Amino acid sequence: MSKKRDTLIATADRLFYTEGFAATGIDRVVSVAGVALGTLYRHFDGKAGLVVGVLDYRETAFFARLDETAAGKEGRDRVLSLFDGLLSWAEQKPGNENGCLFLRAASEHPEEPAIRTRVLKHKKTYLTFCRKHLREGGWDAAAARRLAPRIFLLLEGAVATCGFLGNRIAIKQARDAAEDLLSQDPSTPAMQNRS
């Protein structure tokens, strides 16, 4: 909508991720963004509102990237593409190995209901997103419901360990584990076709 608003979100997103929420002052955000302080308060409900705005922006961009990477893939590849999309997202900018911004936002604002509920909503959406890709990959509803939390856990584990193992290795480990997990499960589409 508003150009200034977009600039503020993009700037805050970058600063929050590289320097942390508490360590990034509101003055710093507006100064780097080249926007007046009053403008920020016109668009957002204080700093907490800005944080929520950043998370909204992140979520749509992230899931769009995953959908983009999954386009055209079928069967097991469609599920594994979640890891490929995550890798492309993580390598978007150098130094993108500081963990999940949503979890960091929640842990830095334990008493901010607006932020915590926003993070919870994101994780719920993420889990549903995994289940949807399993369905689209050929798994039935029951299998998708059973396997989705495992895929989700591997994705979250990959992000958490990126800072230590590096993006490439961490996500590859998770992807390989997911591959084993999918091919070993008795309800994989391949097995269903065989019977």
Partner DNA sequence: GACCAAATAGAACGACCGTTCTACTCATGA
Partner DNA sequence: TCATGAGTAGAACGGTCGTTCTATTTGGTC
CB of 102 to a copy of itself, least distance (A): 10
Question: How far apart, in whole angstroms, are the C-alpha atoms of residue 128 and residue 144?
Answer: 10
Q: Write the binding mask 3 to 22 for a copy of itself: x where contact by CB under 8 A, - elsewhere.
A: ---------------xxx-x
Question: How far apart, in whole angstroms, are the C-alpha atoms of residue 123 and residue 45?
Answer: 23
Q: What is the DSSP letter of 31?
A: H
E runs forming strands in 25-115 = none
Contact segment (CB under 8 A) with a copy of itself among 50-58, 82-90, 132-140, 178-186 equals: 178-186
Question: How far apart, in whole angstroms, are the C-alpha atoms of residue 77 and residue 66?
Answer: 13
Count, residues near a copy of itself per rule CB under 8 A: 44
4 belongs to the binding site for DNA (CB under 7 A): yes
Could you say which of DNA, a copy of itself, none residue 170 binds, taking C-beta under 5 to 8 angstroms by partner kind? a copy of itself
Q: Of 79-98, which residues contact a copy of itself (CB under 8 A)? A: 98
CB of 50 to DNA, least distance (A): 8
Question: How far apart, in whole angstroms, are the C-alpha atoms of residue 134 and residue 78?
Answer: 8
Q: What is the DSSP letter of 102?
A: H
Closest CA to 34 of 53, 57, 7: 7
Near DNA by CB under 7 A: residue from 41, 73, 97, 132: 41
Residue type, 146: R
CB of 154 to a copy of itself, least distance (A): 6
Could you say which of a copy of itself, DNA, none residue 4 binds, taking C-beta under 5 to 8 angstroms by partner kind? DNA
Beta-carbon contacts of 131 under 8 Å, excluding residues fewer than 6 positions away, are 144, 145, 148
Binding site for a copy of itself (CB under 8 A): 18-20, 22-23, 98-100, 103-104, 106-111, 120, 123-124, 127, 149-150, 152-161, 163-165, 169-170, 173-174, 176-177, 180-181, 184
